[in-house]
Amino acid sequence: MLEEAQAVSSGISGADIVLAARYLAAGLCMGIGAIGPAIAQGITAAHALDGIARQPEMQGTLFRTMVIGQAIAESTGIYSLLIAIVLLFVI
């Protein structure tokens, strides 16, 4: 019984575990890291739409401000993306 378990476990080397951990970490990093920016961008777009519905003539200004706000909210998502890329390709 013990010998069997040892034979199975010897097929998995330390490098394999590191590889699996890298892929898992990259997936988790992107998945969890995308929650915050998604919520923030949704709230920004919703309020911008409220504003446009109330004052359609302000559409140009509101759209521009909305894009700036979403771009800034996106930066944390971009940082987690970079960490995922570093995990996948660089390490």
Which range of residues in 4-12, 16-24, 43-51, 82-90 is near another protein by CB under 8 A? Answer: 82-90
**With binding defined as CB under 8 A, does residue 82 bind another protein?**
yes
Smallest distance from another protein to CB 4, Å: 37
CB 29 within 8 A of CB 87: yes
State the CB neighbour count (10 A cutoff) for residue 44. Answer: 19
Give how far Cα 30 sits from Cα of 4, 40, 69, 89, Å. 38, 16, 21, 14
Q: Applying CB under 8 A, which residues contact another protein? A: 60-61, 64, 67-68, 71-72, 74-75, 78-79, 81-82, 85, 89-90
